[in-house]
């Protein structure tokens, strides 16, 4: 089963395959027909209910993965429920930047030489990294995406 590593990769695939150039300078490109997007994804071997490896939430023609959302993506109505379920991620946190970079905890552990258990404790809120360490890690993760 084929999957995208991140939601950004899925969004790029949709843009590359479905967005057309606007006719005029001041026009927005027309939004793609999500039924067409769903059909093309299926034809290319994607499971519409499990498109993204890192669990980032999405909706395509009624198909979702019941995943997590970044804090700046969630509507006010959904925010409290997502927080209770542990599915609301702060984008500018170590966990958020790790997920944006498409890294598992094990991969991040190898790259940064930080024990997996330490990452788990930081991400669950059991412990907090030193502010200077968090800043450096977040900056490094951001640079990995660029």
**At 54, is the pLDDT very low, low, confident or very high (cuts 50, 70, 90)?**
confident
pLDDT of residue 97: 92
| DSSP secondary structure, 65-100, as one string | ---BEETTTS-HHHHHHHHHTT-EE-TTSHHHHHHH
Q: Is the pLDDT of residue 102 over 60?
A: yes
**Is the model's pLDDT at 140 over the cut of 70?**
yes
Domains and their CATH numbers in the chain:
7-67 (no CATH), 89-145 (1.10.260)
pTM of the complete model: 0.70
Instruction: State the average pLDDT over residues 140-145.
Output: 86
Assess whether pLDDT exceeds 90 at residue 8. Answer: no
């Amino acid at each position: 089963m084929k999957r995208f590593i991140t939601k950004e990769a899925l969004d790029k695939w949709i843009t590359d395959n479905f967005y057309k150039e606007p006719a005029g300078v001041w026009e927005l490109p027309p939004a793609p027909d999500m039924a067409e997007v769903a059909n093309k994804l299926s034809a290319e071997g994607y499971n519409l209910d499990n498109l993204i490896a890192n669990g980032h939430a999405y909706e395509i023609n009624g198909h979702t993965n019941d995943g997590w959302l970044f804090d700046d993506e969630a509507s006010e109505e959904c925010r409290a429920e997502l927080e209770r379920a542990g599915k609301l991620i702060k984008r500018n946190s170590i966990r958020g930047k790790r997920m944006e970079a498409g890294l598992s905890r094990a991969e991040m552990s190898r790259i940064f030489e930080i024990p997996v258990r330490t990452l788990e404790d930081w991400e669950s809120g059991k412990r907090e990294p030193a502010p200077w360490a968090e800043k450096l890690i977040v900056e490094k993760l951001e640079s990995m995406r660029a």
